[in-house]
Amino acid sequence: MRTLVTGGAGFIGSHLTEHLLRAGDEVVVLDDLSTGREANLDAMSDHPGLRLVVGSVCDREIVDRCVRGVDRVFHAAASVGVLKILEKPLQSLRTNVHGTEIVLQAALEHGVPILITSTSEVYGKNSRIGLREDDDRVLGSPLKSRWSYAEAKAVAESMTHGYTTEHGLTAVIVRLFNTVGPRQAGQYGMVVPRFVEQALAGRPLTVYGDGHQIRCFCHVLDVVPAMVALLEDERAHGDVFNLGGTEQVSIGGLAERVIAVTGSTSDIVHLSYEQAYGEGFEDMRRRVPDSTKALERVGFRPRRDLDDVIAAVAAHSKQRREVEHA
Ligand SMILES: NC(=O)c1ccc[n+]([C@@H]2O[C@H](COP(=O)([O-])OP(=O)(O)OC[C@H]3O[C@@H](n4cnc5c(N)ncnc54)[C@H](O)[C@@H]3O)[C@@H](O)[C@H]2O)c1
């Protein structure tokens, strides 16, 4: 099997690439290395089945060349991270909407199935416990850049649906909830790597807002096999699936767990959303998935708990610091 992974040098994409290579696939990675790193593929760099193409999903010719000759596509390239979206809203919109359409179009032209990675952000401020795939979206103003990521991802979903129903493209959409693990970068607003880096450096852990906001984290190694299984299951085609963890934790509680697991002596301090992200930032109080559909379709059941995730992120972070300081 030959597979294209867009965004394959990123956090989730690199784990997916590793998983596919181990399963015997040949993998083409298309990545512009904007938030991804070639080093994320270090563990696989000698693998004869791996080819890295540095380029953008917004470049029709490169995408066409990459899709030609593969049997399937996982589209994980996107502008990701609250800070990145706030800093470059237009570029993010273009990548997440225009780039996705270019990849969809190429998959259609070459007759290959595709998996699109969407996000729990599409539910916006809907704080129902156990969000289901057909639940309503509750979003703030489109003029607040914070929501443009959710808008773009929702448009990408609608476009995927259009390509499926109007043109017969074979596609699956997954909505990932907070996915975490080694190689996730902390500098664009991702909370687990940020807390772990602060804890390891003995700096205060900075909790934004009151810290009572609830999230569910899921280890990337639990998510990746489910993504592959869903694309391989014909019964999943044309459908959308939540993939997320089950354990609810407040962000304040997460900070305490990070300190406990890493054995850090750091303090916890609070920053207002305005201090962290600027005036008018909106967040959701709670985001809890119901992944029953993925459980019933492909047996998705996260096996690693939050302490496992924190320990894995801390081990990776320590290793990276050692390499950087060697
Ligand atoms: N990590 C999460 O919690 C989470 C949650 C929901 C959805 N997602 C989705 O999962 C996918 C992967 O996200 P991630 O967490 O691994 O983030 P990431 O930033 O590590 O990965 C995104 C990758 O896409 C690449 N990229 C960005 N723009 C590109 C372009 N124009 N052309 C080619 N490559 C480009 C980046 O360099 C990076 O390697 C994204 O689609 C994201 O929206 C992630």
Domain count for the chain = 1
Residue 266 lies in a domain: no
Q: Could you report the per-residue pLDDT of 269-322, keeping only the tens digit for each?
A: 999 888 888 777 788 899 999 999 999 999 999 999 999 999 999 999 998 877
- Ligand 1 mean position, distance from CA 167 (Å): 26
Sequence-distant (≥ 6) Cβ neighbours of residue 265 within 8 angstroms? 202
- Ligand 1 mean position, distance from CA 5 (Å): 11
Residue 274 lies in a domain: no
pLDDT score recorded for residue 283: 82
| % pLDDT > 90, the chain | 85
Residue 44 lies in a domain: yes
- Ligand 1 mean position, distance from CA 38 (Å): 14
pLDDT score recorded for residue 122: 96
Residue 83 lies in a domain: yes
- Grouping H, G, I as helix, E, B as strand and the rest as coil, residue 175 is strand
Specify whether the CB–CB gap between 129 and 186 falls below 8 A.
Answer: no
The continuous run of DSSP H or E covering 156 comes out as helix 148-167
Locate the ligand 1 atom nearest the alpha carbon of residue 188 and give its number. 19
Average pLDDT, whole number, for the chain? 94
Q: How far is CA 214 from the centre of its chain?
A: 18
Global confidence as pTM: 0.96
- Grouping H, G, I as helix, E, B as strand and the rest as coil, residue 245 is coil
Residue 20 lies in a domain: yes
Q: Which domain holds residue 97?
A: 2-179+220-244+289-302
Residue 78 lies in a domain: yes
Measured CA distances, 60 to 94, 118, 273 (Å): 13, 21, 38
Instruction: Give the mean model confidence (pLDDT) for residues 26-36.
Output: 97
pLDDT score recorded for residue 326: 73
Structure tokens at 125: 């401020």
Among all residues, which ones are annotated catalytic? 149
- Ligand 1 mean position, distance from CA 263 (Å): 31
Select from 38, 64, 80, 155 the residue to mutate for testing ligand 1; criterion: most ligand atoms less than 8 Å from CB.
80
Q: Is 76 in the pocket of ligand 1 (CB under 6 A)?
A: yes
Q: Is 33 in the pocket of ligand 1 (CB under 6 A)?
A: yes
Q: How far apart are CA 227 and CA 247, in angstroms?
A: 20
Residue 80 lies in a domain: yes
Residue 188 lies in a domain: no
Q: What is the CATH number of the domain that holds 145?
A: 3.40.50.720
- Grouping H, G, I as helix, E, B as strand and the rest as coil, residue 56 is coil
Structure tokens at 280: 């008018």
Give the confidence band of 185 by pLDDT, cuts at 50, 70, 90.
confident
251-262 and 191-201 helices cross at what angle (nearest 10)? 40
Structure tokens at 82: 């609250």
Q: How far apart are CA 169 and CA 193, in angstroms?
A: 37
pLDDT score recorded for residue 133: 98
Q: Could you report the per-residue pLDDT of 48-68, keeping only the tens digit for each?
A: 999 999 999 999 999 999 999
Q: Is 77 in the pocket of ligand 1 (CB under 6 A)?
A: yes
